[in-house]
Structure 1
């Protein structure tokens, strides 16, 4: 049996020998012991406090900094839903007391809750003044909380900030418990020591010097070594090697445990760094890693006369995949996109190319010119973007279904467009947005004019919010006539915006802004309800024997994708009292093409209630007449571009005739829009077209003026 000669036995043996020799040194030894305990506690308390406090501060500042970067785009577009998602995700982390997102004036925009009871209220707590005034990462310490705040920036513009409160109670309880345990162990050792000294103290005089040496050798020196190692760890050197020990006592156990703790911290630090710099889903570099690489590249290239290009790639209509197929399918799509992009970048981007996922469905690529290579960075970026658009436009198979998405790419150049990383990333995002505005599935190079266009669009979006409540938006109605007898049978509701300063804003402009920003999901139900209310008024002024007029309302692709359209329509019909067959919903053909199964199911639910569904701008989509067999509709509206040339272009006349014949064979009503000449009206009636609208028949008029047409 291997007996363990522990620390207590060593002290006992030393005191038995010392008691016979140096009794006179008892008082000195006791004093030395007390000082040693105070030194150990002091060093331990200081090391523990500094290590825990500094690590906690750096960890929390890093987390808040990343959160501020993640909130930049949502706050820029005032996307409270996305701000709430990020705030709640942070609030769920252990030890976090609160998360507050605020604007530049210190007004609360989100607090991570569902109801946001503090929305719009100014922060007035004791730390709020410094938080609002801070223009960079700022940390404050309270009695029980560490408050870390960071500004939310878009380029050099400060949009607001985010502050996170971390509860210090747990840290302090842990620290005090650890110190209490250490004090208890030292007190226990001291008490036992004093007992043996009291019994054998007479002999300690002769061996006092030996006792000092032994204590220094077996206790103070190891603790000092551990304190030095802890300071290295506190400085961030987690892989510090602690002194090896072959001792089989408590100090030896402590030194070995400290060594294992150092190795564990080093391993966790490597894991955390890998997680911090790697996208968990795709394994690509993330936003933080890309930004650091970009900053480093710019330092190397600045003044060297070399160029680089940033390509921002965003998947078109990716939200539709999550909404219709689920988030698992969305993750599968992201992985397939990431693999395609990586293969293309590896093949065409050059040795120094870097690919990263910025989060969501956005990827960013860095390419630079090679020394001695004839191809410039603009040509390389253009070729790479061309190939990426083609590759990513190919169908993706997800859950045994083919999905067509495509990508929009924005390209910006250094130093031509900007010399700093922040400005380059902003320019790339602007160029990518312009690619989406240009029709998606394409790429655009950044130009200075884009900044002005984005500013105008953001200003227009801001003005559009609340325009309905301010009475700036209104409905006009264009009559629809039956060609057989010339009777008015209904009207199309059209939205108009009379801006107090700009006058009438073109529908093509503000409807696109509403669609891109998501405001259409608020405006759409408001327009639908107002149109139904006006249609009910029409029935009251018409003679009782007259045929009830229908009202047709345009529905945006975004409303169709949300899946809540049948419920919205049912609520409007119930609240206004309009009969379902007097409501016609118009959808563009391209809105239905994206996901025929989802659209068909949705339209079938609408038609089952009696609501009529028309396909607007028919003939301009990609599928043509074959679409009518798969999508349940009651009518089609021939696009005005065909009607305009029906009198002089035989091809348009033949196509219009074919559309009418094909639709009638399927039992579908045909409506011609854009009838501006009597000859067009006559040709359409001759070809059997059912209904028509246009300036020759009647201009769009306000609700009151339309009522006079019915009298």
Structure 2
């Protein structure tokens, strides 16, 4: 402080001696100093603001775009669990204020919370209308947040969108702190420089010029270099050179602070890129990274006469794991699956392969030829066979064995398509065909698959709302007692009268309803309608006629199947003992423990359970010992040749005897000849149905029959 006061005294003496000459010089130097400080401060503030805000905007656009891609299938299938998993992963980030997933009308589907209190509410904030009406990504901001939104599209159809709000509070605090630090440093430097200028002016006017030059070199140039470096960093060039920071003064401190800030931004950018290109659960490349790799490979191979293959692998019935064992177990299963796929790909594909997780339970492998004489098709087939075999082995999670299969679709470049988009579409189509073929297998893409998928899509679209439009109706096929041909009940059969194509075969649309999930809407409606129709029979005098309803595996696994049946009985007033449910062996095989629990609860209230298409499944009579059923229905394939095929006769006789020994009713399907009925009577079969006994008929005709 004394040193500073001595400088002031010398400065005042010199000012007194050279006031007239140097006053103008001092004013000019001070004005220049002030202007330089203001310019430096403004440049630093602008550079900091632009850099931070632009990084947040770019991060938001990337993250929301990726979230929109991940949410296509969950929003399309209304999978709130998958939507919640994605939103919560974003919401956990410290600067995210909210995450909203909304439908095409702007109603909230998920907000990242556990119980979704805002579900179904319209977004009513000031930005909502502009976001919902936007055709593409949009970045909006308020005083509190930057709102980044992106529509969720499937093809040209808009399913809704996702929006994420990033808090500006932390950014403003950091910005204010940095600006304050810079201002303080500049103010300190200004005061020091003013003292140096005064000292030099007191010594010599010529020395003042030298001091000005030194100031220019010591202060203005580093600050300008920092400003230039900030602009380079803003442009994404993190390798730009910073001024030498070996100085120990305030400028050196400022340069080192700027260097640390630049390193922090570079690390943040690196982390953001890693997050954008890596699947957080498995550590594999994600969809974005894989697409860039695929585009790069296609550019390399285009015109070179070489091939590559895409393999789309989807875990069969993975939703059952999440529904029955929980999402934590599901994540562990996915991790083990990913490790197995990685090991199999490394063994079978070597370095000529790339692996990525596309989200959910879908994995994609890129396999390309390293030499001109490599048969990519054969390599892809070998890899697919290896994956099917490896992934069929049980996975042990929490001391439990989980059995899952994998459906794989394979498409080739350039045979099937020349672009990345079409290749990925074709691989997805082939994978779906593998599922249709029975799952746990692989299929190569073919042109005919496009037509099959198009037909399926049209059927699914037309099937939506078909029940409400009255196109879906119930037909009833009589079931008779074989001994005296007494009518005891009827099986409810679903029929679809398409307004354009006419009668659609059940074998065509039932599978579509099952695979698309529409059966979970149609099935309960069928149960309610069948119960109400059975009550009409009772009112017409047929007091003890039962009605049997076919139940799909998906309905049985829905979680509320028992409640659906009990609600239908309560609404209609039908006694439980007149309600029969029919399930196939494959439906029971899906989750035997769950099926046993549900069927036992139904039988406790008097509902009968029949095992349909018996003898055609994989388990045979072994299921009769473990699953509670009241009867079995012998599949029509055995009855068709029972008169001329001794093997079918022997099997039918054995099924009847075995079922009777267990106290079960036996029903024969597909009885189309009198001789078949007579033979079944001699073998002790209890009930029968078929065209010889009665065709499926509408409610009016069946009412006339029982009347």
Q: Give TM-score scaled by structure 1 length.
A: 0.89
CA shift for structure 1 position 258: 2.4
| CA shift in 2, pair 1:525/1:451, >3 Å | same
Q: After the TM superposition, which of the residue ranges 221-230 and 35-44 deviates more from structure 2? A: 221-230
Question: Residues 221-260 of structure 1 correspond to what in structure 2 (within 5 A)?
Answer: 221-238=221-238, 240=240, 242-260=242-260
Q: How far is 1:384 from its partner?
A: 1.8
SS in 1 for 2:489: strand
Give the Cα separation in 2 of the matches to 1:12 and 1:219. Answer: 24
Q: How far off is 1:472 after superposition?
A: 0.9
- Per-residue CA deviations over 1:311-370 (Å, capped at 9, x if unaligned) read 101111111111112222222322232222222222222431111111111111111223
CA distance in 2, matches of 1:532, 1:41: 80
Task: Indicate which of 645, 655, 659 corresponds to 2:655.
Answer: 659
Mapping 1:43-442, distance limit 5 Å: 43-74=43-74, 86=86, 94-95=95-96, 99=100, 107-108=105-106, 112-113=110-111, 114=116, 115-118=119-122, 125=129, 131-132=134-135, 139=139, 148=148, 150=150, 152=152, 157=156, 159=158, 162=161, 164=163, 166=165, 169-170=168-169, 173-174=172-173, 177-178=176-177, 181=180, 185=184, 189=188, 203=202, 206=205, 207-238=207-238, 240=240, 242-373=242-373, 375-442=374-441
Once the two structures are TM-superposed, the CA of residue 577 in structure 1 deviates from its matched residue by: 1.6
- Given that 2:107 and 2:121 are in contact with CA atoms closer than 8 Å, whether structure 1 keeps it comes out as no
Q: Tell me what 1:4 maps to.
A: none
Unaligned runs of 5+ in 2: none
3-state SS in 2 of match to 1:310: strand
Q: Could you say if the C-alpha distance between residues 649 and 402 of structure 1 is closer, same or farther in structure 2, counting changes exceeding 3 Å?
A: farther
Question: Displacement, 1:464?
Answer: 0.9
Distance in 1 of aligned mates of 2:3 and 2:294: 60
1:409, 1:432 within 8 Å by CA — same for their partners in 2? yes
**Are 1:509 and 2:517 counterparts?**
no
Count the aligned residue pairs: 692
Equivalent in the alignment of 2:548: 552
Conservation of the 8 A alpha-carbon contact between 1:21 and 1:205: no
- Provide the residue aligned with 1:5 in structure 2: none
CA distance in structure 1 between the partners assigned to 2:58 and 2:590 by the alignment? 47
How far 1:73 moved relative to its partner?
3.8
d(CA) in 1 for partners of 2:128, 2:393: 54
Aligned mate of 1:563, from 555, 559, 563: 559
Q: Deviations over 1:150-173 (max 9, x none)?
A: 565557x56467463645753774
| Distance in 2 separating the partners of 1:623 and 1:281 | 36
Q: 2 CA distance for matches of 1:438 and 1:311?
A: 17
Partner of 1:595: 591
Equivalent-residue separation in structure 1 for 2:701 and 2:289 (angstroms)? 62
Distance 1:98 1:347 in 2: 41
Give the alignment's TM-score, normalised by structure 2.
0.89
SS in 2 for 1:118: coil
Task: State how far apart, in whole Å, the 1-side matches of 2:289 and 2:446 are.
Answer: 27
* Alpha-carbon shift at residue 591 of structure 1 (Å): 0.8
Residue 577 of structure 1 is matched in structure 2 by 573
- Partners of 1:294 and 1:162 lie apart in 2 by 27
Instruction: Indicate if the aligned counterparts of 2:659 and 2:665 stay in contact, CA closer than 8 A.
Output: yes
Q: Aligned partners of 2:526 and 2:7: how far apart in 1? A: 94
For 1:674, the equivalent position in structure 2 comes to 670
Mapped partners of 2:234, 2:305: distance in 1:
42
Tell me the distance in 1 between the aligned counterparts of 2:437 and 2:366. Answer: 23
Change (3 A) 1:74 1:329: closer
Q: 1:641: which partner in 2?
A: 637
Q: Return the alpha-carbon distance in structure 1 between the equivalents of residues 123 and 456 of structure 2.
A: 26
Alignment of 1:33-52 (within 5 A): 33-52=33-52
CA distance in 2, matches of 1:175, 1:12: 37
Corresponding residue of 2:692: 696
Question: Is 1:482 aligned with 2:481?
Answer: yes
CA separation in 2, counterparts of 1:319 and 1:689?
Answer: 40
Residues 144 and 169 in structure 2, CA contact (< 8 A), matched pair in contact too: no
- Asked if 1:464 corresponds to 2:459, the answer is no
Unaligned segments of structure 1, at least 5 residues:
1-7
- Pick from 678, 685, 698 the counterpart of residue 681 of structure 2: 685
CA distance in 1, matches of 2:444, 2:417: 13
Q: Does the CA contact (< 8 Å) of 1:476 and 1:702 recur in 2?
A: yes
Deviation at 1:39, TM superposition (A): 0.6
**Distance verdict in 2 for CA 1:281–1:64, change over 3 Å:** closer
Deviations 1:511-534 (A, max 9, x none): 111111111111111111111111
- Residue 417 of structure 1: SS of its match in structure 2? coil
Are residues 492 and 76 of structure 1, via their aligned partners in 2, closer, same or farther at CA, if it must alter by over 3 Å? same
Distance between the aligned counterparts of 2:53 and 2:386, measured in 1? 51
Shift of 1:11: 8.0
State how far apart, in whole Å, the 2-side matches of 1:52 and 1:205 are. Answer: 46
Residue in 2 that maps onto 1:624? 620
Give yes or no for contact 1:149–1:161 (8 Å, CA) kept in 2. Answer: no
